[in-house]
C-alpha cells in the first residue's frame, strides 16, 4: 500500500487532530497534512477514515474528509500500480494537485479563473465513493464530461451563462437540425 492515513498527535486550534498521510512510493517517503482535522473519537484507525456521520469541530462532514482521503489513495495507488518512481518533491506536487494546495513557486488555478473540470471530477468521485452510484450512472457522467471536454477543454466556472449553455446544446448537432435554432445562421 502506497498511502496510509493517521491522526497527528498535536491538537489544532479547535481541539481536533490534523489528518496526516504518509506516502511511500519508489523509495521516497513524504508525510503531510491533508488539510482536515477530526477528533480521535470520530476516527477509525483500522479503516483509516472518519466514522460515518461524524463531523469535525469546524463542521466539516465525514464524507468531505473521506472523499479527500479516497482521492489521495486512488491517485497514489494508481501510480504504485504503474510502478512509478517519484522523488519526494514529485510526490509533494502530486499530493498538492489532488488536494488543491499551492506548491511554493507555482501558480495555481486560484490565481485565475476556476477550472470547471477540477470540480466536475470531484463531483463524480464523490458520487462513486459516498453515494454508491451504479456503474451506468458513473459512465453517463463520464460521457457528459468527455462531451464537455470536446466542447471546450479550457472552460471555467466563470464561463457558464446562457450563451455558453446555448452553444453547448448546439455543439455537435448535425447541420440538418440547425433549423431548430433560428438565431443561428448556417
What digits encode the pLDDT tens for the residues 12-39? 888 899 999 999 887 888 999 998 999 9
Q: What are the pLDDT digits (tens) for 67-76?
A: 999 999 988 8
User: What integer pLDDT is reported at residue 41 of this predicted model?
Assistant: 94
Last residue of a domain, one of 111, 127, 152: 111
User: Are 102 and 122 within one domain?
Assistant: no
User: What integer pLDDT is reported at residue 184 of this predicted model?
Assistant: 52
User: Are 69 and 150 within one domain?
Assistant: no
Q: Give the CA dihedral 62, 92, 78, 69, nearest 10 degrees.
A: -10
**Which residues in the chain show pLDDT less than 70?**
1, 102-114, 129-130, 174-186
Cell of 143: 460521457
User: Are 11 and 95 within one domain?
Assistant: yes
User: Are 51 and 119 within one domain?
Assistant: no
Q: Which residues lie across from 6 on neighbouring strands?
A: 20
User: Are 118 and 60 within one domain?
Assistant: no
Note down the domain range covering 35. Answer: 3-111
Residue with cell 449553455: 165
Amino acid at each position: 500500500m502506497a498511502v496510509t492515513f493517521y491522526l497527528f498527535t498535536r491538537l489544532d486550534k479547535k481541539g481536533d487532530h490534523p489528518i496526516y498521510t504518509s506516502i511511500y512510493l519508489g523509495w521516497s517517503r513524504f508525510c503531510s497534512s491533508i488539510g482536515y482535522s477530526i477528533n480521535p473519537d470520530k476516527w477509525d484507525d483500522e479503516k483509516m477514515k472518519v466514522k460515518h456521520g461524524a463531523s469535525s469541530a469546524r463542521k466539516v462532514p465525514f464524507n468531505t474528509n473521506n472523499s479527500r482521503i479516497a482521492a489521495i489513495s486512488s491517485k497514489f495507488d494508481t501510480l504504485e500500480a504503474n510502478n512509478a518512481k517519484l522523488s519526494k518533491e514529485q510526490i509533494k506536487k502530486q499530493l498538492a494537485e489532488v488536494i488543491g494546495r499551492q506548491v511554493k513557486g507555482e501558480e495555481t488555478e486560484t490565481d485565475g479563473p476556476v477550472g470547471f473540470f477540477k470540480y466536475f471530477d470531484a463531483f463524480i468521485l464523490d458520487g462513486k465513493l459516498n453515494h454508491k452510484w451504479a456503474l451506468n450512472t458513473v459512465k453517463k457522467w463520464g460521457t457528459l464530461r468527455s462531451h464537455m471536454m470536446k466542447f471546450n477543454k479550457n472552460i471555467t466556472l466563470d464561463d457558464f451563462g446562457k450563451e455558453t449553455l446555448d452553444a453547448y446544446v448546439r455543439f455537435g448537432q448535425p447541420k440538418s437540425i440547425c433549423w431548430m435554432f433560428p438565431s443561428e445562421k448556417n
